[in-house]
Amino acid sequence: MITIALDVMGGDYCPDSNIEGALDALKEDKELKLLLVGPSDLISEKISDWDPELKERAEILNATEVISPEESPVFAVRKKKDSTLVVGSRAVKEGRAEALVSAGSTGAVLGSGQLVVGRLPGVLRPPLASLIPTKKGFKLFLDMGANVDAKPEWLLQFAMMGTIYMQQVCHLEAPQVKLVNLGTEEEKGNALTKGANELLKAAEGINYQGYIESRDVIMGEADVIVADAFTGNAILKTMEGTVDFVMGSVKEVLKSSLKTKLAAMLIMKPLKAKLKEYSASEQGGAMLLGLNGLVMKCHGNASGKDIRVALIKSAQFARENVCGVMREAFKEDKEQ
Amino acid sequence: MITIALDVMGGDYCPDSNIEGALDALKEDKELKLLLVGPSDLISEKISDWDPELKERAEILNATEVISPEESPVFAVRKKKDSTLVVGSRAVKEGRAEALVSAGSTGAVLGSGQLVVGRLPGVLRPPLASLIPTKKGFKLFLDMGANVDAKPEWLLQFAMMGTIYMQQVCHLEAPQVKLVNLGTEEEKGNALTKGANELLKAAEGINYQGYIESRDVIMGEADVIVADAFTGNAILKTMEGTVDFVMGSVKEVLKSSLKTKLAAMLIMKPLKAKLKEYSASEQGGAMLLGLNGLVMKCHGNASGKDIRVALIKSAQFARENVCGVMREAFKEDKEQ
């Protein structure tokens, strides 16, 4: 049995889509237990019509407060000791759950992960990692936006964590790791990438393949793509914006005349199917790695299906013992 | 009359496409004179059949060496005193030409711009600026990749230069300036953006509108978009890669069946027309600003048409006295 905590009160469609996702995950995975974190009265009522077998695998963990997106994350995490995020994070910290899934505000999820769940010994900073769609399938990208003003040593550790994730969860033996830079030539780069490049070249246990230009990230030219949080955020947000922009332009063309409207009827179905291949919705949320357990952040507008996927993926993460392997790796790393 | 220097030996299709572009620019702009920089024998022969009136406005400036993309840019600029780039840059420095246009290697063009043409007094770093296609037309983006490890003061100056460019060349009275950041909230950012944000808020003569997230760059939510070179490069290369990727996927769908092939026939023409709206080829090349004259870097695979546009745009830049206005602005800035 694997136990995962769910922040019932996170996200735009809480609590209903979260409860729905919880129900579907329990139905799908018979070895899954859930800690439903939120106001116990409310949750009791919401799950009152569940099948008894499912209800048995769903424990309610009372938490009466909610951290809103408007609050200063660090301040709120410190102050609201009875918030769903803090209570859920404490459950992970204390080993009562292997992971916490939340669609709450990014800052608060990062904050409670770092401050309450806490870093594994030896980990300098926990990166936010995400499986992103590329031409060659889903690849792990980190740091997506957790730690600004990075140091070369942090990027080295991100590469280690990415490697362990891809080995344990995706079963790649020696995942290719590349570092985002503004050119692939050795002499190019800023102080950060040049420093990290030297550390990565010297590191054992990392299949480091050098620099990658940001235009090749979406081409899937590496299994693990490492960047500092500022650059990672810029790349991922630019991808999102550009996809929206280009598809918007294509749609404008398709609506522009009778001829093109006819064409639209002919291609809409295969076009949608193609776009679905690249949809991130089967990948769960973004993962805060390097902690005493996994913290998975779902999109604020997560549907019941998104929550279900996040819970199932978190359980897989726990079964593959990613945290245990990371704990060992960083212990050794610290001892050296 | 405005005189522009052209590196005849730069780019993949030199010298022929460069000569072709030069001819077309002279035909188009009767107030334009060119300095054709390269081996005089070769150029003489290439322009031997030109109309005498055009030939009169084309002076040959002999330069016997070429800097290749394989060479270390700074080293090559220092060593190859008789290279087309160094000779052309010297002509700008000495006031014999207002601008230099080259499709040579980026590093060497940046190097000769900085080392030979030289910075205007008071300018800390010359940014590489480019007009990029957005949902709301072409917007000025800088720095695209000239100066890594930026300081807040540099970004402030980039905002000043971008403002002057948009005022002089695009005749906007108070161009909106935004700074790329990983969120629009005041408390978000790294040390660089937080520092630059404070300077920009306090600056006079800049219509600063705060942060912009990278996903909104392509939406055209500002006239001047400022970023450090590393981030700027990441955003622009990601845009390029993502457009290629999405259009590639659309094309795959269009080829996938008889139905979709029929659709393709119906939409290909309007789709191409739409994409052309966003084509950068009418904008000339990337511009190195803040120097004693303009250095315009064309794409390595520049066609004759691209060279023509770059020459015409450079002449416009000179006629609008962008360098003169910048010189005054930075002199005042220094005096304060």
Cβ atoms of residues A120 and A323 within 8 Å: yes
Q: In this model, does residue B336 exceed pLDDT 70?
A: no
C-beta neighbour count of B303 within 10 angstroms? 19
Chains A–B, number of C-beta pairs less than 8 Å apart: 156
**DSSP letters for A108-161:** HHHHHIIIII-BPTT-S-PPEEEEEEETTEEEEEE-SSS-SS--HHHHHHHHHH
Nearest CA-CA distance, residue B324 and chain A, Å: 32
Position A282 scores a pLDDT of 74
Judged by CB atoms closer than 8 Å, whether chains meet at B241 and A219 is answered as yes
State residue B334's pLDDT score. 61
Which residues in A lie closer than 8 A to residue B111 (C-beta atoms)? none
**Which of A149, A241, A263 shows the shortest C-beta gap to B263?**
A263
Q: How far off is chain B from A177, nearest CA to CA, in Å?
A: 18
pLDDT of residue A318: 96
Identify the weakest region by mean pLDDT among A32-46, A202-216, B59-73, B158-172: B59-73
Closest CB from B72, B214, B274 relative to A238 = B214
Question: Any idea of the CA torsion for A24, A26, A32, A35, to the nearest 10 degrees?
Answer: 90
Does the pLDDT at position B302 exceed 80?
Answer: yes
Q: Which pLDDT belongs to residue A284? A: 84
Beta carbons within 10 angstroms of residue B238's beta carbon: 28
The answer to whether the CB of A208 falls within 8 A of the CB of A201 is yes
Residue B218 sits at the chain A interface (C-beta within 8 Å):
yes
Query: CB-based contact (8 Å) between A274 and chain B?
Result: yes
- Suggest the residue from A135, A149, A226, A230 to mutate for an interface test with chain B (most B CBs closer than 10 A): A230
Average pLDDT, chain B: 94
Residues of chain A neighbouring B193 (CB-CB closer than 8 A): 230
Under a CB-based contact definition with an 8 Å cutoff, are residues B181 and B215 in contact? no
Average pLDDT, 10 consecutive residues per value, chain A (336 residues): 97 96 98 98 97 96 93 90 97 97 94 96 96 93 94 98 96 97 91 98 97 96 97 95 91 92 91 82 88 95 95 96 95 68
Work out whether strand A32-38 and strand A2-7 pair parallel, antiparallel, or are unpaired: parallel
Among B240, B256, B278, select the one facing A270 at the smallest CB separation.
B256
Q: Does A247 touch chain B if contact means CB atoms closer than 8 Å?
A: yes
CA–chain centroid gap for A288, Å, is 6
Task: State the average pLDDT over residues B176-188.
Answer: 93
Q: Is A202 on the interface with B (CB under 8 A)?
A: no
d(CA B223, CA B229): 18
Instruction: From chain A, pick out residues whose CB is under 8 angstroms from the CB of B278.
Output: 249
- Are B214 and A234 in contact (CB < 8 Å)? yes
Residues B241, A180: C-beta atoms closer than 8 Å? no
Q: How far is B209 from chain A (nearest CA, A)?
A: 19
Q: Which residues of B are less than 8 Å from A279 in CB distance? A: none
Residue among B234, B243, B266 whose CB faces A262 most closely:
B266
Q: Where are the alpha helices (DSSP H) in chain B?
A: 16-28, 40-46, 52-56, 73-79, 84-93, 106-112, 152-168, 191-202, 229-254, 258-277, 304-319, 322-335
Task: Flag whether residue A72 sits within 8 Å of chain B, measured between CB atoms.
Answer: yes
A149 contacts B191? CB cut-off 8 A: yes
- Res A205: pLDDT: 94
Triad B311, B312, B315: Cα angle to 5°: 85
Identity of the amino acid at A285 = G
Kindly report the nearest CA distance between residue B247 and chain A, in angstroms: 8
Strand, coil or helix: what is B141? Answer: strand
Interface membership of B255 toward A (CB under 8 Å): no
End-to-end Cα distance, chain B: 35
User: Could you tell me if B148 lies within 8 Å of chain A, comparing CB atoms?
Assistant: yes
- Asked if A218 lies within 8 A of B245 by C-beta distance, the reply is yes
Smallest Cβ–Cβ distance between A214 and the set B237, B243, B244 belongs to B237
Phi, psi (rounded to 5 degrees) for A282: -90, 5
Q: What is the pLDDT of residue B335?
A: 63
Consecutive H or E run containing A3: strand A2-7
Task: Answer yes or no: are the C-beta atoms of A167 and A291 closer than 8 Å.
Answer: no
pLDDT band at B279 (very low <50, low <70, confident <90, very high): confident
Task: Enumerate the β-bridge partners of residue B131.
Answer: B140
Amino acid occupying residue A42: L
* Structure-block tokens of residue B25: 């620019």
**Separation in Å, CA of A195 to nearest CA in chain B:** 13
Does the interface predicted TM-score (ipTM) exceed 0.85? yes
Name the minimum distance, in Å, from the CA of A251 to any CA of chain B: 10
Q: Pick A241's closest partner by Cβ from B149, B190, B218.
A: B218
Structure tokens that stand for A162 in this block: 């990415």
Select the residue of B145, B230, B260 nearest A266 (Cβ to Cβ). Answer: B260
What distances in angstroms separate CA A336 from CA A115, A122, A159, B8, one per listed residue?
27, 11, 18, 57
Q: What is the pLDDT of residue B72?
A: 87
